[in-house]
Structure 1
Amino acid sequence: MVTTIPDTLRAFFLPLVSHLRERGWQVDGMAKGISSNLECVQAFDRVWDVEWSRNPLDPKNLIAAPAQIRHALSQEQYDLVNVSTPVAAFVTRYALNNLRKQEKVKVIYTAQGFHFYKGGSLYKNAIFLGLEKIAGPWTDYLVVVNREDESAAKRYGLISPERVRYIPGTGLNLDRFNPSAISEAEIVGVRQELGLGSENPLFLSVAEFIPRKRPGDILKAFAKLGRPQVHLALAGNGLIFEEMQQLASELGIQKQVHFLGLRRDIPVLMCASVATLIASSQEGLPNCVMESLCMEIPVIGTDIRGTRDLLENGNGLLVKLGDINGIASAMTWILDHPDEAKQMGKRGRENMINYDVPHILKLYEALYAETALLLI
Structure 2
Amino acid sequence: MKKKVLIVCTTASMVGNFNIPNIRLLKRMGYDVEVACNFKDVSSWSLNDSNKLKKLLEALNVKCFQIDFVRSPFKILSNCKAYKELNKIIMQRDYNFIHCHTPIAGALTRLSAKRNGVKVIYTAHGFHFFKGGPLKNWIIYYPIEKWLSSYTDILITINNEDYLLAKDKMNSNQVFKINGAGVDINRFRKKMNYRKGIREKLNISDNQIVLLSVGELNRNKNHKTIIEALGSINNLKLESMKTD
2:180 is equivalent to residue 169 of structure 1: yes
Task: Give the drift of 1:62.
Answer: 4.3
Aligned partner of 1:199 in structure 2 is 207
TM-superposition CA deviations, 1:292-323 (whole Å, max 9, x none): xxxxxxxxxxxxxxxxxxxxxxxxxxxxxxxx
Aligned partner of 1:186 in structure 2 is 194
Distance change in 2, residues 1:3/1:59 (3 Å): same
Does the residue aligned with 2:64 lie in a helix, a strand or coil?
strand
2:42 is equivalent to residue 25 of structure 1: no
Is 1:142–1:165's contact at 8 Å kept on the other side of the alignment?
yes
2:147 is equivalent to residue 134 of structure 1: yes
Distance change in 2, residues 1:170/1:78 (3 Å): farther
TM-superposition CA deviations, 1:87-114 (whole Å, max 9, x none): 00001111221222xxxx2100101111
2:94 is equivalent to residue 77 of structure 1: yes
Is 1:34–1:47's contact at 8 Å kept on the other side of the alignment?
no
Is 1:2–1:30's contact at 8 Å kept on the other side of the alignment?
yes
Root-mean-square deviation (CA), in Å?
A: 2.8
Flag as ranges the 4+ runs of structure 1 deviating above 4 A: none
> Identity of aligned pairs, percent?
26
Aligned partner of 2:72 in structure 1 is 55
TM-score for the superposition, normalised by structure 2: 0.77
Does the residue aligned with 2:172 lie in a helix, a strand or coil?
coil
Does the residue aligned with 1:202 lie in a helix, a strand or coil?
coil
Is 1:66–1:95's contact at 8 Å kept on the other side of the alignment?
yes
Number of aligned residues: 218
Task: Report matched runs for 1:1-376 at 5 Å.
Answer: 1-33=7-39, 36=47, 37-44=50-57, 45-100=62-117, 105-160=118-173, 163-169=174-180, 178-179=187-188, 183-211=191-219, 212-213=222-223, 214-226=225-237
Task: Give the drift of 1:208.
Answer: 3.5
Gaps of 5+ in 1: 228-376
Q: Distance in 2 between matches of 1:201 and 1:166?
A: 35
Distance change in 2, residues 1:91/1:16 (3 Å): same
Q: Distance in 2 between matches of 1:153 and 1:64?
A: 29
Is 1:6–1:31's contact at 8 Å kept on the other side of the alignment?
yes
TM-score for the superposition, normalised by structure 1: 0.52
